[in-house]
Structure 1
Amino acid sequence: MIDDGPETRERLATALHVARWVDEVASGCPYPSVDALVGVGDLAARSLSSAEVDEALSAHPRIGERSSGLSAAEQAASSTDDPALVAAMADGNRAYEERFGRIFLIRAAGRSRPEILAELHRRLQLTDAAEAAEVADQLRQIALLRLRTLFAA
Structure 2
Amino acid sequence: MTAPPGLIEFDALSDARAVELLARCCSSTVWARRVAAGRPFRSADALYRTADEVLAALTESEVDAALAGHPRIGDRADNPSSAREQSAVASAGDDVRARLRAGNEAYEQKFGHVYLVCASGRSAHELLDVLHERLGNDAATERTILRSELAAINRIRLERLLDEIASGQLR
Q: Do they fold alike, i.e. is TM over 0.5? A: yes
Match of residue 48 from structure 1: 58
TM-score (norm 2): 0.83
**In the alignment, which residue of structure 2 is the partner of 1:113?**
124
Moved over 4 A (4+): none
Give 1:11-90 correspondences, 5 Å limit.
11-67=21-77, 68-90=79-101
Cα offsets for 1:97-138 (capped at 9, x unmatched): 111111111110011111100010011000011111111111
Q: Deviations over 1:12-66 (max 9, x none)?
A: 1111112222222111112244333222112222223211111111111111011
Matched residue of 2:90: which SS? coil
Aligned residues: 153
| 8 Å contact kept, 1:21–1:45 | yes
Hey, what's the Cα distance between the residues in 2 that align with 1:80 and 1:126?
A: 28
Tell me the TM-score normalised to structure 1 length: 0.92
CA distance in 1, matches of 2:122, 2:58: 24
- Report the Cα distance in structure 2 between the residues aligned to 1:89 and 1:95, rounded to whole angstroms: 10
Identity of aligned residues (%): 38
| Paired AA for residue 149 in structure 2 | Q
For structure 1, which runs of at least 5 residues remain unmatched after alignment? none
Other structure's SS at 2:30 match: helix
Bigger radius of gyration among the two:
2
1:131 corresponds to 2:164: no
